[in-house]
Structure 1
Amino acid sequence: MYLIKRIFNPEIFQGKYRHNNYFEGWYYKIIDKASENIIAVIPGVAVSKNRGHSFIQFIDAKTGFTEYFNFPRKEFSYSERELEISIMDNYFSRAGMRLELNSQNTSIYGEIDFTDIVPFPKSLLNPGIMGPYSFVPFMECHHGIINIHSRLKGFINYNGKHIAFNEGSGYVEKDWGKSFPHSWIWLQCNSFKTRDTSLMFSIASIPWLGREFDGLIAFLKVGGSFFRFATYTGARLKCLKIHEKILNIEVEDRKSVLCLKVAVGGGGMLKAPKKGLMEVEITESITSTVEVLLVEKPGKIIFHDTGENTGLELAGNFKKFAI
């Protein structure tokens, strides 16, 4: 039953029977009402042949400060029915998180509740953002979107600084598998002037059965409208140009064109998995900006706005995607 349930519920822990070369991590992004504090928290587990551990990564977007909290593997526990994981005194679910983190130089504690949650839409053939690829075996990395958007209630105390997140915004996604792709571009934003708007875009070089292909997944939610662009929907990358700190992207399908112009902001260092071990370092920004233009063919503008506090990763040989 669990093997079937996990496919149609990508948010829950997927690794019950994976004890070698495996990772799984959830990405929680929270922004206060004034956008003065932007924090990402990434709980997860990593296992390899003779070793394994659970972890929580913390990133303060404004300062670029990051810290990796390492815990014994046995401190990680989970529910098979819903997204509910615990790492020592830290707790994470679809509805929020509770933090109790301490190191030699860092003290973090607090509790955040998510309200007015907008989940990622599911169907029988599309149980998550990966669509029919959710059913493909031997994929090295899987991606899942959990909360497209939510309101926040609660606080975090970070080295004595009390940060209130009431009426702020939240986002939750995850990755799991053996290793991250060789190269990728990922961005996400839900801080637009237009209410109830959220964006995610990713393109990655994905190894599969000894070969490699570029996979595209993206969505734009505006109010009650949801636009999905993906390799499996027939969408294709029309343009991708990188010049200095400006990234221009155009994605099209038979109905519309999605144009993104990203100003790359500063970031902090995070650890990423390779063969189940958190041994790769990547830079993630949560202070980039993205201008979004959605045009319905032949030329009708559906949406145009600029989002702040954009999460952005440019990893590996990401320039290979340039067109």
Structure 2
Amino acid sequence: MYRINRLFNPEIFQGQYKKKNYFEGWYFKLINGNQKSILSIIPGIAINKNGEKEAFIQAIDGIIGQSHYIPFDYDDFKYNSERFQVIIGDNYFSKDRMILNLENDNFICIGELHFLNPIPYPKTRFCPGIMGPFSFVPLMECYHGVVNISHNIQGQMVYQKKIVNFDNGYGYIEKDWGKSFPESWIWVQCNHFTKENVSFMFSIAKIPWFGSFFIGFISFLRIGDKHYTFATYTSCKIKHLNLKDHLISITLKNSKHELKVQVEISNNVGELMAPKVGSMDRKIEETINSKVSITLLDNKNNIIFKDTGHHGGTELSGPYKKLLVPNH
């Protein structure tokens, strides 16, 4: 039953039977009501090629770009096999709550946050998550899931000896699991637009495929109750993907819509540890304070939606320039 349940519920822990070469992590983005505190918290586990296991919690301060990695014994990791519920030591994570008790010589983050009015990623029988039918393909290098497209936050934390109130804040949850992060990828996420109930994510990566590889991408735009998916498996095309002077330009096109995106990458970059063959020994850089501008058009070039968001997450890793697509 667990094997079937995990396919249709990518948010739950997927690695119950994994013995080596495996990682799994959840990404919580937290922005408080006055937007002066921006944090990403990443709980996870890693099992290397020798079967050595560890649990961890990472954190990035989006304002100053400072990051922290807190290791735990694997025995401190507990999970629920029926729903998304993860415990690492005295820290608790789910789609509707987070409890943190992190304190060492240079990092303090203690408190409880509640996630209200969560909007889950829509599921169907053949598309149980953002990866669509690729969710059912075994032995992929890396899988991706979106847990909460957005949610409101209530609660407070003691962060670096200061009390931070997260009431009326806004958040987002996604996750990754598999053997390794891709060789190269570009990732953008933003759900802090001037208009309410808007969320966007784009990811493109080099994906191994039966001895070869292909360049695949997934993306969604949520505007209120309307959900737009742009992905390799929907026959969507990338008309343009370029990077120049800290500005990413993206144009996605399908039979009904065209999505234009510009990302002004922030200089407040934090360093994260990322998995390679189940070992957390790869360093990547991420910012969670980029500016993201979006224009959605119909197939007659009429503007459906246009807005600019702030506090966007951005990662460019590996030889990502090979992922760029010239105008065509």
TM-score bracket for the superposition, by shorter chain length: over 0.9
Partner of 1:94: 95
Aligned to 2:63, the other structure's residue is in SS state: coil
Aligned to 1:194, the other structure's residue is in SS state: coil
Structure 1 length as normaliser, TM-score?
Answer: 0.99
CA distance in 2, matches of 1:210, 1:280: 23
Which of 308, 311, 320 is residue 309 of structure 1 equivalent to?
Answer: 311
Partner of 1:285: 287
Could you tell me which amino acid in structure 2 is paired with residue 18 of structure 1? K
> How far did residue 107 of structure 1 move?
1.7
Residues 253-279 of structure 1: CA deviation (Å, up to 9, x unaligned): 111111001101021000110000111
Runs of at least 4 residues of structure 1 off by over 6 A? none
Q: Is the 8 A contact 2:140 2:178 kept in 1?
A: yes
Aligned to 1:319, the other structure's residue is in SS state: helix
Partner of 1:21: 21
Structure 2 length as normaliser, TM-score?
Answer: 0.97
CA distance in 2, matches of 1:154, 1:189: 22
Partner of 2:188: 187
CA distance in 1, matches of 2:209, 2:274: 19
Aligned to 1:154, the other structure's residue is in SS state: strand
Partner of 2:239: 238
Q: How many residues align?
A: 323
1:134-213 → structure 2 map (5 Å cutoff): 134-213=135-214
Could you tell me which amino acid in structure 1 is paired with residue 3 of structure 2? L
Percent of aligned pairs with the same amino acid: 45
> How far did residue 182 of structure 1 move?
0.6
CA distance in 2, matches of 1:221, 1:52: 37
Partner of 2:323: 321
Could you tell me which amino acid in structure 1 is paired with residue 292 of structure 2? V
Aligned to 1:46, the other structure's residue is in SS state: strand
Could you tell me which amino acid in structure 2 is paired with residue 28 of structure 1? F
Residues 206-250 of structure 1: CA deviation (Å, up to 9, x unaligned): 112221111110000001111000000011111011111111010
CA distance in 2, matches of 1:135, 1:80: 19
CA distance in 2, matches of 1:107, 1:35: 20
Instruction: Name the Cα RMSD after superposition.
Output: 0.7
Could you tell me which amino acid in structure 1 is paired with residue 317 of structure 2? A
Aligned to 1:7, the other structure's residue is in SS state: helix
Matched, 1:10 2:10: yes
Aligned to 1:205, the other structure's residue is in SS state: strand
> How far did residue 103 of structure 1 move?
1.5
Could you tell me which amino acid in structure 2 is paired with residue 143 of structure 1? H
Q: Is the 8 A contact 2:184 2:206 kept in 1?
A: yes
Q: Which runs of 5+ in 2 are unaligned?
A: none
Q: Is the 8 A contact 1:138 1:208 kept in 2?
A: no
1:76-87 → structure 2 map (5 Å cutoff): 76-87=77-88
Q: Is the 8 A contact 1:138 1:209 kept in 2?
A: no
Q: Is the 8 A contact 1:291 1:307 kept in 2?
A: yes
Q: Is the 8 A contact 1:37 1:61 kept in 2?
A: yes
Aligned to 1:220, the other structure's residue is in SS state: strand
Q: Which runs of 5+ in 1 are unaligned?
A: none
